[in-house]
A and B are shown apart, each in its own frame.
Chain A
Amino acid sequence: MTVQEIADALGMACVAGSSGMDREVTSGYASDLLSDVMGHARDGAIWVTSQVHQNVVAVALLLNLSAVVIAGGLQLMEDAAARADARGMPMLSTELPAFEVAGRLYRLGVRGEV
Chain B
Amino acid sequence: MTARDEHALEMDFAVGRHDFAAAGEVASRVKQVLRQLGIASDLVRRAAVATYEAEMNLVIHSNGGKVVLRVDSERIVVEACDLGPGIPDIELAMREGYSTASDEVREMGFGAGMGLPNMRRCSDSFKIDSSVGRGTTVTTVIYIAEPGS
- Look across to chain B and name the residue whose beta carbon is closest to the beta carbon of A87: B28
> A32 interface residue, CB < 8 Å from B?
yes
- Chain A residues near B114: list those with CB within 8 A: 33, 35-36, 38-39
- Cα–Cα distance between A25 and B25 once the two chains are bound (Å): 25
> Interface majority SS on A: helix, strand, loop or mixed?
helix
Kindly identify, within residues 42 to 82 of chain A, every residue whose CB is under 8 Å from any CB belonging to chain B: 43, 49, 51, 53-56, 58-59, 61-64, 79
Contacts A53-B108, A62-B28 given; indicate if A79 touches B49 (C-beta within 8 A): no
> A34 interface residue, CB < 8 Å from B?
yes
- Cα–Cα distance between A53 and B105 once the two chains are bound (Å): 12
- Cα–Cα distance between A44 and B21 once the two chains are bound (Å): 25
Total number of residue pairs linking A and B with CB closer than 8 Å: 65
How many of chain A's residues have a CB under 8 angstroms from any CB in B? 21
- Cα–Cα distance between A64 and B49 once the two chains are bound (Å): 11
> B127 interface residue, CB < 8 Å from A?
no
> B95 interface residue, CB < 8 Å from A?
no
Contact B49 A55 (CB under 8 A): no
Distance from B111 Cβ to chain A, minimum over Cβ atoms (Å): 9
- Look across to chain B and name the residue whose beta carbon is closest to the beta carbon of A31: B109
- Chain B residues near A55: list those with CB within 8 A: 20, 23-24, 108-110
> B112 interface residue, CB < 8 Å from A?
yes
- Chain B residues near A35: list those with CB within 8 A: 53, 56, 110, 112-115, 118
- Cα–Cα distance between A49 and B49 once the two chains are bound (Å): 19
- Cα–Cα distance between A54 and B25 once the two chains are bound (Å): 11
- Chain A residues near B52: list those with CB within 8 A: 38, 58-59, 62
Q: Which 9 A-B pairs have the closest CB atoms?
A: A58-B24, A35-B114, A33-B112, A39-B118, A34-B109, A51-B109, A35-B112, A62-B48, A32-B109
Contact B21 A54 (CB under 8 A): yes
> B27 interface residue, CB < 8 Å from A?
yes
